[in-house]
Structure 1
Amino acid sequence: MNTPLLEALSAVLLVAVLAGAVLRPFGLPEAAVAVPAALVVLATGALPLDQARAEAARLGPVVGFLAAVLVLARLCDDEGLFRWCGALMARGAPAGGHGGARRLLGAVFVLASLITAVLSLDATVVLLTPVVFATAARLGVRPKPHVYACTHLANTASLLLPVSNLTNLLAFSASGLGFTRFAALMALPWLLAVGAEYVVLRRFFAAELVAPVAPASTGETPEPPLFALATVGCTLAGFVLASALGAAPAWAAAAGAAVLAVRALARRRISPAGLLGAAALPFLAFVLALGVVVRAVVDGGLGELLGRLVPDGTGPGELFAVAALAAVLANVINNLPAVLVLLPLTADAGPGAVLAMLLGVNIGPNLTYAGSLATLLWRRIAHRHAHDVGLAEFTRLGALTVPAALAVAVPALWLSLLVIGG
């Protein structure tokens, strides 16, 4: 095949991979389409084998971290961490009426933001969302505003730490920043973006927040899971230490997961097969395969095309341009491929451009279902709880929150870069 045909083949395969991840035909995992597509890319020469190896080596530490943090989050759930979080949310909100609904929304915002930042967005989507459904029923409030908050915060609240999102991990290694400097630069954008989300969601769901329903039985308040809390705290400190020592954050995540795994295995709460299942091996294969396919598309001409659109500077206008481009691309091809495409183009401009790109790919996916894999997963969880998620409503809300969050986060990033330095 000639080069134009190979470029077209790579683009078609990327579309097929993303469609497979969105639609999951016959309930197949995302890897069922992605892995064969990556093999076709290699077999046809659309991506040379040595470049595929280099891409896999670049993604390896990120995939290792993802596996460790998924296991860590699952074991924290087994320890009762998320049930305890639900009890905390319910404790400060009276049952029934708009007062309880509004207080619950505030509690969801606080806990979802913290859980997303520390345990990654997958923990918020997979583990906290069912707890929010149960807590809303317990208090007798409509679940919709609080459940929507989970998916929005899984994206927007993942700005804070390098470990909060797979996109952050990819960008962190290319930014040249340490763990604490990354967090310091993103703290103000994170805080203001989450605040903008709260203001918009509270106004958008004003009618839902004043409509009581019959509360369910309250049940017993669980004891604080002290061992899990201590392990998560030590793991977070390990992230900082690993960064200072130049080690990958995957080691700290693996240590935290190992501590909880030994305890769970000793108490027979989980089996070795259960630990493997918690690591989501098919999804890890999907991430690697997606990276190979995206690399073929980028090398085939997409990178050169987008390179003309990425500005060189890091002034307010340039940062807005990068964030907007990243947000649009995330909704066109999903945020993970968008990072893989844009990262080489923004890294040369310095950490400011890399962080602006993260604002776009983390906030932008709230506009469409296909913007992030976390949103797709959240939609399936909502359907399992018999909760209707309308496309029109989701898009209308995203059309309000995404511009509002970017409008405050980008200037905040520019100010942070000015004060702290990149």
Structure 2
Amino acid sequence: MGAEVLSLGLLGLVLWSAVRRPFGWPEAVVAVPAAGLLVAVGAVSPEAAWAELERLGPVVGFLAAVLVLAQLCDDEGLFEACGRWMASASGGRPVRLLGQVFGVAAVVTAVLSLDATVVLLTPVVAATAGVLAVRARPHVYACGHLANTASLLLPVSNLTNLLAFTASGLTFGRFTALMALPWLAALGVEYLLLRRFFAADLAVPASRPAPAERPRLPRFALWTVAGTLAGFVVASALDVSPAWAAALGAAVLAVRALAAGRTNTRRLVRAASVPFLAFVLALGVVVKAVVDNGLAEWLGALVPAGASLPSLFALAALAALLANLVNNLPATLLLVPLAAPSGPGAVLAVLLGVNIGPNLTYAGSLATLLWRRIVQTREIDDGGLGTFTRLGALTTPATLAAAVLALWASLRLIGA
């Protein structure tokens, strides 16, 4: 009982520190000592802790590589060019701009991960709204929501996807094929509901003309990203970690950027966000202690067996609820091993819950917390907690239901 209470208490402390970041500390400042304490008191054995670190190692390696890749794409001017293109192609019409933001954010999230959408695209979208003098709120919220919702498509779109992908036994191509229909369904519902929710903002026309000049996209960066995406498929076929493909893509852009003097080694290391990587590893150990000290048995009684439509709905709802209670990364670490015996369909249903569910509360995912921080730092009027919660209550249940139905259809059409 003592180990169980300590494990749960430290998990709560770690998550609180990640949300609040007292004194501006990185998330790892609390998480790493908490993991070490749990090992020291025997709440989790050193062998089990090391096994968890080994399991998460490739996932964290991929995350580091893709963060560097996204930053280097930004250095190449990719996101700035996307902003100029949206401003020009929108014709100054807010509804058209919202559609363009949806398209760009969906692709960026799927290919370069949700962190790129939150950290790099959101400020560009806010600036684009400023250029046109349209209300930024619908477009900024689209980035925040799609950082979660649009991360369903590829195994590499989200840290949670990588964890689920490893447990699912699926290939890169089969994972993508099964999630394509849920991804499209979720995006469609999200778009319609955001457009309805922000109808008043979108009805206000731009007070500045749209720039006529169409920007030139950085082709080298685009080709590198396309090659990296192809590398993910090849790596999966060869049973090699996608981290190697991401690292190769990042290396190609890094060499070019270093040669041109656009970056340096210190900036590349900073882009990799080493404290956050340490936080992810430490969090895995803390969650392992919680699971080993009784929570797995309790959750196991709630996890339905099989991949019938009611089971898929129950799994997705449980995952969404748990994500909003303890954050989606711990929820994934807790639920995926319990769902895996029921097959890939059950694992993917959990993924729908932990990826879409966080749009309901600020604490649902680290991406949402980061989005909130960026919005506050740039003094963007987001309407505060009330607007966020009302929008989440409108979109999250409907989007999750549509995605679960689409997953059920994909499993019947394609097969797990």
**TM-score normalised to structure 2 length:** 0.98
> Residues of 2 paired with 1:334 and 1:63: CA distance?
18
> Residues of 2 paired with 1:66 and 1:219: CA distance?
38
* TM superposition shift of 1:212: 3.6
What amino acid does structure 2 have at the position aligned with 1:414? W
Count of aligned positions: 415
Preserved contact between residue 86 and residue 131 of structure 1 (Cα < 8 Å): yes
Preserved contact between residue 101 and residue 141 of structure 1 (Cα < 8 Å): yes
The farther-off stretch of 17-26 and 206-215 is 206-215
What amino acid does structure 2 have at the position aligned with 1:155? N
3-state SS of paired residue (1:45): coil
The farther-off stretch of 43-52 and 384-393 is 384-393
What amino acid does structure 2 have at the position aligned with 1:416? S
Q: Indicate whether 1:399 and 2:393 are aligned.
A: yes
Q: Indicate whether 1:370 and 2:363 are aligned.
A: yes
The farther-off stretch of 156-165 and 392-401 is 392-401
Gaps of 5+ in 1: none
* TM superposition shift of 1:313: 1.2
Instruction: Provide the identity percentage.
Output: 68
- Against the structure 1 CA distance between its residues 216 and 378, is the aligned structure 2 distance closer, same or farther, given a 3 Å change threshold? farther
Q: Indicate whether 1:332 and 2:325 are aligned.
A: yes
Q: Indicate whether 1:417 and 2:414 are aligned.
A: no
Q: Indicate whether 1:357 and 2:350 are aligned.
A: yes
Q: Alignment partner for residue 120 of structure 1, among 96, 113, 124?
A: 113
* TM superposition shift of 1:388: 3.4
Q: Alignment partner for residue 230 of structure 1, among 206, 223, 226?
A: 223
Q: Which residue of 1 aligns with 2:20?
A: 23
> Residues of 2 paired with 1:150 and 1:88: CA distance?
16
Q: Which residue of 2 aligns with 1:283?
A: 276
What amino acid does structure 1 have at the position aligned with 2:155? P
> Residues of 2 paired with 1:6 and 1:302: CA distance?
12
Q: Which residue of 2 aligns with 1:388?
A: 381
Q: Which residue of 1 aligns with 2:402?
A: 408
> Residues of 2 paired with 1:172 and 1:371: CA distance?
21
Q: Indicate whether 1:73 and 2:70 are aligned.
A: yes
* TM superposition shift of 1:219: 9.3
> Residues of 2 paired with 1:28 and 1:388: CA distance?
26
* TM superposition shift of 1:270: 0.7
> Residues of 1 paired with 2:235 and 2:298: CA distance?
37
* TM superposition shift of 1:140: 1.8
RMSD of Structure 2 on Structure 1 (CA): 1.2
> Residues of 2 paired with 1:184 and 1:90: CA distance?
33
Q: Which residue of 2 aligns with 1:341?
A: 334
3-state SS of paired residue (1:348): helix
* TM superposition shift of 1:223: 2.2
Q: Alignment partner for residue 237 of structure 2, among 244, 264, 279?
A: 244
> Residues of 2 paired with 1:175 and 1:294: CA distance?
20
- CA displacement 1:54-96 (0-9 Å, x = unmatched): 000000000000000000000000000001111221122122x
- CA displacement 1:121-164 (0-9 Å, x = unmatched): 00000000000011101112100000000010000000000000
Preserved contact between residue 98 and residue 138 of structure 2 (Cα < 8 Å): yes
Preserved contact between residue 17 and residue 33 of structure 1 (Cα < 8 Å): yes
Gaps of 5+ in 2: none
Q: Alignment partner for residue 10 of structure 2, among 8, 13, 18?
A: 13
What amino acid does structure 2 have at the position aligned with 1:94? G
* TM superposition shift of 1:39: 1.1
Matches within 5 A, 1:58-97: 58-95=55-92
What amino acid does structure 2 have at the position aligned with 1:35? V
